[in-house]
């Protein structure tokens, strides 16, 4: 397979996953802002959400005041924001066009029709109640694409590269969601149990579609340590760091098997996995949750770099 | 027959239905009201979803457009097709023989059948090809022959496309769409399959692989990339053939051999179906500014380590000025009379002919020798006085830059338009593959001028396409 094709497949999956995650983050930011009753609370929540998405500076550069409307326009439709849903879908489709021969027609049609439908949406029509519907739609289209991929693509190197993109991006995103409100997850006696905190934890779980699966898993009320545990260390949780890094490891192993050699990215992913294997939340909290997440994101990026070098992305 | 009414593919001059269209006519009559309207809009949705688009240069409406598809097929009888395909095969054999000769001993020039000046001074002549022996001596492997019809038995070749003819993906997708839209119509007719094209293309490309590349040579389709107007087709064909879809930077030359950059390192490439014009394929040999090509590619080709399809320099055989000589070319190499006629063409460098042309320009078609895509041409009967005056000046200034032909009454075919079903002018581009043998796909691309009365069928000028049926006996 051409190195460029592998690269396109990797980024194609990353961008679809990112579009979905932007929708998830925006939903959380939106819900948080709705429940804030303090002066300036709305924009504070939205800005911390944009920090997590690493688009806060780009937003600031637009000179706009952060309101639900301005932030939604920026995160969904603004082409100058490289992480906006529109930019992600466009980049995903452009990558897909470049590798039409390496993806199935079901994958292409799913992505192409998502793009065509999205292009029909007028930004000014998406206000208030309409926003949540749109965000839901974006998530669904991402699910549909993933379904088309899993159901139709050949299980060869192309599959491995697109899976790698998917899990790298998702791990990155979950780490960022956690980091956005890491302080509310810190076990601090004085904060535990406040209504506002519970609400924020719920939203963090919701951003990962985990607010109900948490209940099934722990049979318990929401507790910060457990929420962090769920999203970081539990393999059963498909958006957890443990699950994403393990899947990434397995994916890269399949490439090693296929190509008959192990390369730098295999060491890099082993280091990533080691961060979430054989540890517990107590150790992570002791070390500092924010520091832990920062290192995880950096190691995750390192995997992408090694992958690009090892498999001749250019 | 009324001189002013063009030949219609479906209706004879007495209003009766021509035999190949009998089943279709019946089928149309059986359709409930609005069924065709629905089919037409279904077709558009289908094409958009599949992403079958092309780009129009200089158009503001985004760079991806659909070529309009017409739901009424164009039908050719088995007997008509037999004659057409014999004529086409004869033509492509002669043109390949011509190319071999032009790039070797140039016997045809020595024999005085084609003027030397026309060849060696021609921009399409590629001196780098002199003395080079391509695999199986084939230069033009993939050819589209543009044919028009003016009467029941009167076909003319308008143009031979020997460089990188496009449109074959539309032939295939039009058929796919038609079968989805009107499966019952296919059940009632015996339509020859066109779906064999990708398989035959692969066979053709394999058959011209360099010696020693093994039984399963590595084939790449070389595309300028996703912004090229025909990118859809490039990816479509690569996909259908199971070939690698490469851009220039994906390939490199080392030690006179061509490799592609894969995830596991360099991999040898044996055959390149390139969809990049001659000028851009290799900055070391041709245009040094080209970023699309592969440095050193031509030397690898010269060394016989890779086959380029089509060969560089084939343009000398489809040049509009050389076109006039094709009947002579056929006679010279095959010793046969041309089965398919050329359109009579006036030579503006001849003083008498030029004077006549300038006088009658309102009835004539003027084409730039190196123009394509319907750009740079004048259709006399539908032009304004100002346009005619402009072309007169152009011809006087550079008579060798233009060829002039009578305005042919292209045949019409019933077409679904806003006002209902109405006749529109059509042409036909069958696709030919030349390798170890000549393979002609029964069918082709029918282009239709959707504007009433228009004779310009190019997609860049508002033309559409139709599924093209060749009936089996």
Q: What is the pLDDT of residues B294-351, one digit of tens each?
A: 999 999 999 999 999 999 999 999 988 899 999 999 999 999 999 999 999 988 888 8
For residue B55, pLDDT beyond 60: no
B273 touches chain A (CB under 8 A): no
**How many whole angstroms separate alpha carbon A190 and alpha carbon A272?**
33
**Tokens representing B353?**
């002919």
Q: Check residue A200 and give its pLDDT.
A: 75
Report pTM.
0.86
State the angle between helix axes of A224-232 and A195-207 in degrees (0 to 180), rounded to the nearest 10. Answer: 10
Q: Check residue B381 and give its pLDDT.
A: 87
Q: Which of A99, A101, A165, A310 to mutate to test the interface with B (most CBs of B within 10 A)?
A: A101
Q: Which of A92, A100, A117 to mutate to test the interface with B (most CBs of B within 10 A)?
A: A100
**How many whole angstroms separate alpha carbon A217 and alpha carbon A237?**
9
Q: What is the pLDDT of residues B135-182, one digit of tens each?
A: 999 999 999 999 999 999 999 999 999 998 889 999 999 999 999 999
- Residues 233-272, chain B: which have Cβ within 8 Å of A? 235-236, 238-239, 243-247, 249-250, 260-265
Domains of chain B: residue spans and CATH: 19-210+306-341+408-470 (no CATH), 344-406 (3.30.1490.270)
Closest residue in B to A105 (Cα) is B50
Task: Report helix, strand and coil shares of chain B as percent, to nearest 5.
Answer: 35, 25, 40
Task: Tally the residues of chain A.
Answer: 314
Kindly list the residues from chain A whose CB atom is less than 8 angstroms away from the CB atom of residue B262: 1-3, 312
Chain A: give the shortest CA distance to residue B285, in Å.
25
**How many whole angstroms separate alpha carbon A25 and alpha carbon B367?**
59
Sorted by where each begins, the domain ranges of chain A are 1-153, 155-314
Q: What is the pLDDT of residues B356-402, one digit of tens each?
A: 999 999 999 998 887 666 677 888 888 899 999 999 999 999 988 88
Torsion of CA B58, B59, B60, B66, to 10 degrees: -150
Chain A: give the shortest CA distance to residue B53, in Å.
11
Kindly list the residues from chain B whose CB atom is less than 8 angstroms away from the CB atom of residue A314: 249, 261
The answer to ipTM > 0.90 is: no
Kindly list the residues from chain B whose CB atom is less than 8 angstroms away from the CB atom of residue A98: 225-226
Instruction: Calculate the alpha carbon distances from B330 to B123, B157, B430 in Å.
Output: 23, 13, 19
Confidence band for A185, pLDDT divided at 50, 70 and 90: low
Residue B464 contacts residue B425 (beta carbons within 8 Å): no
Closest residue in B to A311 (Cα) is B263
**Phi/psi of residue B347, each to 5°?**
-100, 110
For A265, the enclosing helix (H) or strand (E) is helix A264-276
Instruction: Please name the member of B48, B235, B262 whose beta carbon is closest to the beta carbon of A100.
Output: B235
Beta-carbon pairs below 8 A across chains A and B: 63
Residue A203 contacts residue A31 (beta carbons within 8 Å): yes
Residues in A lying within 8 Å of B, measured between beta carbons: 1-6, 94, 97-101, 105, 108-109, 112-113, 116, 157, 161, 259, 311-312, 314
Q: What is the pLDDT of residues B343-358, one digit of tens each?
A: 999 888 888 999 999 9
């Amino acid at each position: 397979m051409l190195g460029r094709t592998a690269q396109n497949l990797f980024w194609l999956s990353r961008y679809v996953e990112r579009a979905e995650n932007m929708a998830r983050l925006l939903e959380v930011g939106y819900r948080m802002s709705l429940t804030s009753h303090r002066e300036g609370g709305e924009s504070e929540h939205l800005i911390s959400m944009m920090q997590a998405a690493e688009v806060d500076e780009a937003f600031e550069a637009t000179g706009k005041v952060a309101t639900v409307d301005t932030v939604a326009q920026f995160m969904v439709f603004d082409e100058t924001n490289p992480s906006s849903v529109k930019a992600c879908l466009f980049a995903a489709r452009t990558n897909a066009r470049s590798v039409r021969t390496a993806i199935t027609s079901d994958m292409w049609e799913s992505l192409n029709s998502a793009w065509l439908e999205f292009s029909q949406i007028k930004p000014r029509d998406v206000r208030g109640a309409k926003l949540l519907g749109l965000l839901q739609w974006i998530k669904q289209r991402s699910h549909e694409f993933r379904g088309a991929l899993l159901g139709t693509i050949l299980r060869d190197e192309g599959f491995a590269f697109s899976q790698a993109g998917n899990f790298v991006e998702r791990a990155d995103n979950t780490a960022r969601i956690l980091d956005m409100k890491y302080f509310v997850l810190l076990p601090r006696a004085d904060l535990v149990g406040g209504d506002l905190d519970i609400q924020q934890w719920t939203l963090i779980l919701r951003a990962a579609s985990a607010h109900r699966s948490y209940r099934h898993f722990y049979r318990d009320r929401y507790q910060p340590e457990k929420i962090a545990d769920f999203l970081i260390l539990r393999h059963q949780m498909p958006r957890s760091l443990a699950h994403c890094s393990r899947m990434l490891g397995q994916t890269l192993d399949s490439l090693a098997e296929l190509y008959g050699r192990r390369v730098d990215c295999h060491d890099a992913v082993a280091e990533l996995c080691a961060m979430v294997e054989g540890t517990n939340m107590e150790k992570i909290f002791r070390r500092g949750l924010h520091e832990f997440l920062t290192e995880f994101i950096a190691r995750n990026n390192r995997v992408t770099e090694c992958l690009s070098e090892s498999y001749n992305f250019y | 027959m009324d001189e002013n009414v063009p030949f219609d593919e479906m209706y004879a001059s007495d209003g009766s239905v021509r035999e190949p269209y009998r089943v279709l006519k019946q089928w149309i009559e059986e359709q409930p009201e609005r069924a065709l309207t629905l089919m037409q809009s279904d077709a558009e949705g289908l094409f958009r979803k599949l992403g079958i688009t092309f780009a129009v240069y200089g158009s503001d409406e985004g760079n991806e457009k659909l070529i309009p598809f017409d739901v009424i097929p164009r039908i050719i009888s088995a007997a008509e097709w037999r004659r057409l395909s014999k004529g086409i095969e004869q033509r492509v054999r002669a043109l390949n023989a011509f190319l071999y000769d032009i790039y070797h001993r140039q016997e045809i020039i020595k024999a005085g059948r084609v003027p030397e000046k026309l060849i060696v001074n021609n921009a399409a002549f590629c001196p780098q090809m002199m003395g080079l022996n391509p695999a199986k001596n084939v230069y033009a492997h993939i050819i589209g022959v543009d044919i028009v019809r003016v009467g029941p038995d009167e076909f003319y070749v308008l143009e031979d496309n020997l460089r990188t003819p496009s449109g074959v993906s539309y032939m295939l997708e039009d058929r796919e769409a038609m079968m989805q839209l009107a499966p019952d119509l296919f059940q009632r007719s015996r339509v020859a399959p066109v779906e064999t094209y990708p398989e035959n293309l692969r066979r053709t490309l394999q058959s011209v692989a360099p010696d020693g590349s093994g039984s399963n040579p590595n084939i790449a389709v070389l595309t300028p990339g996703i912004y090229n107007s025909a990118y859809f087709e490039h990816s479509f064909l690569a996909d259908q053939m199971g070939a690698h879809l490469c851009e220039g930077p994906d390939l490199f030359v080392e030690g006179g051999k061509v490799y592609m950059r894969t995830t596991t390192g360099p991999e040898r490439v044996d055959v390149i179906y390139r969809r990049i014009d001659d000028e851009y394929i290799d900055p070391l040999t041709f245009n040094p500014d080209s970023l699309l090509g592969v440095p050193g590619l031509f030397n690898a080709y010269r060394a016989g380590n890779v086959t380029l399809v089509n060969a560089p320099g084939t343009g000398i055989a489809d040049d509009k000025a050389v076109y006039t000589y094709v009947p002579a070319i056929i006679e010279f190499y095959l010793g046969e009379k041309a089965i398919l006629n050329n359109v009579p063409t006036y030579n503006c460098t001849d003083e008498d002919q030029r004077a006549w042309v300038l006088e009658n320009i309102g009835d004539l078609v003027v084409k730039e020798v190196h123009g394509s895509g319907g750009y740079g041409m004048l259709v006399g009967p539908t032009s304004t006085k100002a346009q005619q005056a402009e072309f007169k000046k152009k011809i006087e200034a550079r008579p060798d830059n233009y060829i002039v032909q009578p305005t042919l009454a292209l045949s019409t075919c019933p077409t679904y338009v806003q006002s209902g079903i109405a006749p529109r002018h059509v042409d036909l581009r069958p696709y030919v593959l030349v390798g170890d043998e000549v393979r002609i796909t029964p069918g082709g691309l029918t282009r239709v001028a959707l504007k009433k009365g228009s004779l310009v069928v190019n997609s860049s000028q508002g033309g559409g396409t139709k599924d093209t049926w060749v009936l089996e006996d």
